[in-house]
Chain A
Amino acid sequence: MCGGGRFFVEPMGTQVELRQWFERVVRNNYRLLYSVAFPIVRQPAACEDAVQEGCLRAYRNLGKLDDPAAVVSWLVRIVRNVALDEARRRKIATAELVDSPMEPVDRTAVGPESDMRQLLMDEIATLSDGLAEVIVLRFFEGLEIEQIGKRLGLTSNAVRVRLHRGLEHLRRLPRIANLSEVSES
């Protein structure tokens, strides 16, 4: 029971269940959490740190979560906030972060594919709460409305509304706007 002079007190009952359940949630949604944090922090290492810190904060505050069916949405929100804090902190700490999502984007200069990606990331990063995860699950993971609803603990109608709001936001991108102008001409 005691090894190396250290005692480990293993939590009992629902405490064990709680941790195991939360670990499953993290494992099943890691890609989603990463995809939500990445457009904000832009660096893989910083993204991993943000997801880890977000998961830890969420775990510590599980007692405040009212509905366990909403855990994924809740976790995404926490990770997103951690990523935003990290982006702000880096922006303050170093003046090098010129492509921060907090910065206004120059929408007139759109060139190569990578620039388009940057703009798209900017737009995803600035999506309001609840929209980014729907966009990520729909277009990055290829889930359908019902599957997204089940994953996020939302009704199908709520998912539809968020999806179309998110798309409306993303349609403001210049290249896409230009494309429609080209088509019209």
Chain B
Amino acid sequence: MIGWEDILNEFLEGGLVRADAEALRWKIQLPTEARAAMDRDLQLVDDLGAMGGVMNPSAATAGAAIGRIFDVLARESAIEAPAHWRWEAGVPTAGRMDDVVAKEDAELAGQLADIGKSMPIAAGALDRLVQRIRDIELSGELDPGQEDCDAMRIFPAGQELKFDALAASKDVLPPQTPPAGEEPRKP
């Protein structure tokens, strides 16, 4: 059953106009306390309504003030929106953290896909390199000392021969002696 308080609350919440509340006040036989409560709230709403006119700026004043605020904002350095906001038609909404994680996952997946796309290129380059080596072998372009193309060797065979020749020659620098009073450097 709807009581007078429900009607009053409906009026205070904006669901009813003042006339409805006034009608209730006059039509229904209300206890004194209830009538006083209604009068009090109706008066309060009147006072608040009157206050609204005092506390609101005029349109011209508000327009000028808003213009000044925009000028100040325009001079501010650019501000970054929070990362989890989503923009649709110039209006942000809060994305959940799950969405942020999902977005990062998608970006990562995209990066992996890019790497995957570049892999065939690398594989193709390797194939071309192997083919080139085979071509060189077949054409006999290699020096006699460089026939050994063992990948496990540290130096090409020809380079090793050069080292051997250098070691055997007398032009090798003598071992360096440390200055007097200084301990020889340990290997």
Binding site for B on A (CB under 8 A): 9, 11, 14-15, 17-23, 26-27, 30-31, 34-35, 38-39, 44, 47-48, 51-52, 55-56, 59-60, 62-69, 113, 116-117, 120-121, 124, 135-136, 138-145, 160, 163-164, 167, 170-171, 173, 175-177, 179-180, 183-184
Contact = CB atoms under 8 A, between A and B. Distances in A.
B93 interface: yes
B57 A63 contact: no
B125 interface: no
Contacts of A56: 69, 72-73, 76
A59 B76 contact: yes
Q: Interface SS of chain A: helix, strand, loop or mixed?
A: helix
A183 B32 contact: yes
Given A30-B62, A52-B72, A56-B76, 18 more contacts: A14-B87, A17-B87, A19-B73, A23-B73, A31-B57, A39-B55, A44-B57, A51-B69, A55-B73, A66-B94, A117-B51, A136-B55, A138-B12, A141-B52, A143-B14, A163-B12, A171-B40, A171-B44
Contact of A18 (B33, B74, B79): B79
A11 B32 contact: no
Given A139-B48, A160-B13, A117 B54 contact: yes
B145 interface: no
Nearest to A38: B55
Interface string B106-126: 000000000000000000000
B93 to A, nearest CB: 6
A143 B74 CA distance: 31
B40 A180 contact: yes
Contact of A183 (B39, B68, B82): B39
7 contacts: A34-B55, A68-B94, A140-B51, A140-B55, A140-B56, A176-B44, A183-B39
B59 to A, nearest CB: 10
B52 A139 contact: yes
A184 B61 CA distance: 45
B171 interface: no
Q: Which of A47, A51, A121 has the most CB of B within 10 A?
A: A51
Contact of A48 (B40, B65, B87): B65
A144 B69 contact: no
Nearest to A18: B81
A7 to B, nearest CB: 14
B78 interface: yes
Contacts of A144: 13-15
Interface string B11-39: 01111000000000000000011011101
A139 B45 contact: yes
Contact of A63 (B12, B80, B87, B90): B80
A23 B41 contact: no
Contacts of A63: 79-82
A64 B47 CA distance: 38
B62 A62 contact: no
Nearest to B67: A27
A52 B69 CA distance: 6
A72 B92 CA distance: 13
B166 interface: no
B159 interface: no
B167 interface: no
B19 to A, nearest CB: 15
